[in-house]
Amino acid sequence: MSLPMSSKNLEIKLYDTLTREKRVFTPLDPARVRMYVCGPTVYDFAHIGNARPVIVFDVLFRLLRHIYGDAHVTYVRNITDVDDKINVRAAERGIAIRELTEETYKNFKSDVEALGCLPPTVEPRATEHIEEMKVLIERLVKSGHAYVAEDHVLFSVPSMPEYGKLSGRPLDEMIAGARVEVASYKKDPQDFVLWKPSKPGEPAWPSPAGIKTQGRPGWHIECSAMAWKHLGETFDIHGGGIDLVFPHNENEIAQSRCAFHTGVMANYWMHNGFLQVEGDKMSKSVGNFVTIHELLKDWPGEVVRLCMLQTHYRQPINWTVVGLREAQKTLDQWYELTADMVPGYLCADTLDALADDFNTPKAFAAMHELRGEAVKGAKPAAACLKASAQLIGLLRNTTAEWKSFRPASIAVDEAKVLSLIEARNAARKAKDFKESDLIRDELAAMGVVLKDSKDGTTWEIAR
């Protein structure tokens, strides 16, 4: 079950959104495996949905490093620090744009570090790659793939017959989508902005393509420019959330392929599924918007990480407190079983599962078996469990450190909470509302909030 395994020969398969199939991963250059992932727009705390691609691609980064060697994998995750949302937020708060983006980036960095993510090899900022963007734009204009209109530069979608292959959207649907913001200067409703004039007070740079007024880049060109600068014209893996397929990634492909006259931008396009909170789309107006920062006040980063990886990365994920509580219990037990142990061999089944399009639930199933053996006293199984967990970025603290970290959520006595809820339910059934209110107050004093629904009563820690 847990045989030593030569990882160098390990073949991994990845699902490619572009070709819609799972394929054996063959890097262009095994001495320099290259991955680009679309990173955050830094205007506010990152939410738990943003944490998904960060965690998912961190595990892939670790797996690639394990196979090809730490020095042979380049992982680029950009920072979008020029954007309308940033301008608006800085103005609202009355601070400089740079101050807002710096502050937000620092928060993001400490949040994702707490989630056990390695820093990417390069974290390029859009505002530091304006020259590269302008070079690409000039090339596109020269080759007839882009044109200037009313101080904007637009990419001409009809100039690229293969446009739309990634998202597989029918042409009329794309046109309908593009029409939402149809502008007079567009030759075709699908054409998208590469460069636009800056309004007073907005960040501005001298424009490309002979435009006299100052301007700023569109979002899509940023990623083409940063990927080019740090990974080259064609690279191995491009990742991001499924919401980015259209139009962002589709447009990146159009820009890069037309600028470099290449057949592909990246050989594998990987997308994580979307995250919902307790069954609903996360939104500020619904009140179920969870930032990583807030979540880390209640839960250790490792719990968040395990909870996120328990669903296959391509599936939608329903984020729940129940899931977090289960992940907490699992880690408590793993830490107990592997206390002070030196990691053993990597479990072959875990590695095989990860190598199969990154199947983390299957990897956890293999680890669950190791856990079963470890419970019966098998020390080697526990050592393998530790090695497997560490490959995924878990069990990286000592057991003593783990035990000393008890955020609010696990400081309460869960058994007591459950028995009080039961007593309250009995009181309500007996229509003794005075008693049920008293119990609710007692729970509130412990920092526990109750939520009653037709499916029963759930609880969480008040913030």
Interface residues with ligand AMP (CB under 6 A) are 38, 40-41, 49-50, 52-53, 240-241, 243-244, 272, 274-275, 282
Which of residues 116 and 124 has its CB atom nearest to Zn ion in the complex?
124
By CB under 5 A, what part of segment 353-372 binds Zn ion? none
388 binds, among ligand AMP, Zn ion, none (CB under 5 to 8 A by kind): none
Residues 6+ apart with CB under 8 A from 12: 24, 25, 63, 67, 354, 355, 356
Which of residues 133 and 223 has its CB atom nearest to Zn ion in the complex?
223
Counting Cα atoms < 13 Å in the Cβ hemisphere of 429 gives: 7
53 binds, among Zn ion, ligand AMP, none (CB under 5 to 8 A by kind): ligand AMP
Counting contacts by CB under 5 A, is residue 303 touching Zn ion?
A: no
Find out whether 319 and 311 touch, Cβ atoms under 8 Å.
no
Which of residues 232 and 273 has its CB atom nearest to ligand AMP in the complex?
273
Give me the residue whose beta carbon is nearest to ligand AMP.
241
Which of residues 223 and 448 has its CB atom nearest to Zn ion in the complex?
223
Report d(CA 136, CA 130) in Å as an integer. 10
243 binds, among Zn ion, ligand AMP, none (CB under 5 to 8 A by kind): ligand AMP
Write the single-letter amino acid at 193: V
Q: Taking contact as CB under 5 A, which single stretch among the options 56-64, 181-189, 223-231, 369-377 is the one that binds Zn ion?
A: 223-231
The DSSP bridge partners found for residue 456 are 453
Q: Taking contact as CB under 5 A, which single stretch among the options 31-39, 94-102, 338-346, 422-430 is the one that binds Zn ion?
A: 31-39
Instruction: Kindly state the tokens that stand for 325.
Output: 């509580």
Query: What is the rounded (10 degree) CA torsion for 172, 176, 182, 188?
Result: 0
Which of residues 282 and 448 has its CB atom nearest to ligand AMP in the complex?
282
Helix (H) or strand (E) holding 155: strand 152-155
3-state helix, strand, coil in the chain (%, to 5): 50, 15, 35
Report d(CA 411, CA 50) in Å as an integer. 27
223 binds, among Zn ion, ligand AMP, none (CB under 5 to 8 A by kind): Zn ion
Per-residue x/- marks for Zn ion, 37-56, CB under 5 A?
-x------------------
* Closest among 345, 344, 384 to 366, alpha carbons compared: 384
Which of residues 129 and 186 has its CB atom nearest to ligand AMP in the complex?
129
Residues 6+ apart with CB under 8 A from 440: 424, 450
Choosing from 14, 18, 154, 223, the residue that interacts with Zn ion (CB under 5 A) is 223
What DSSP character marks residue 234? S
Binding site for Zn ion (CB under 5 A): 38, 223
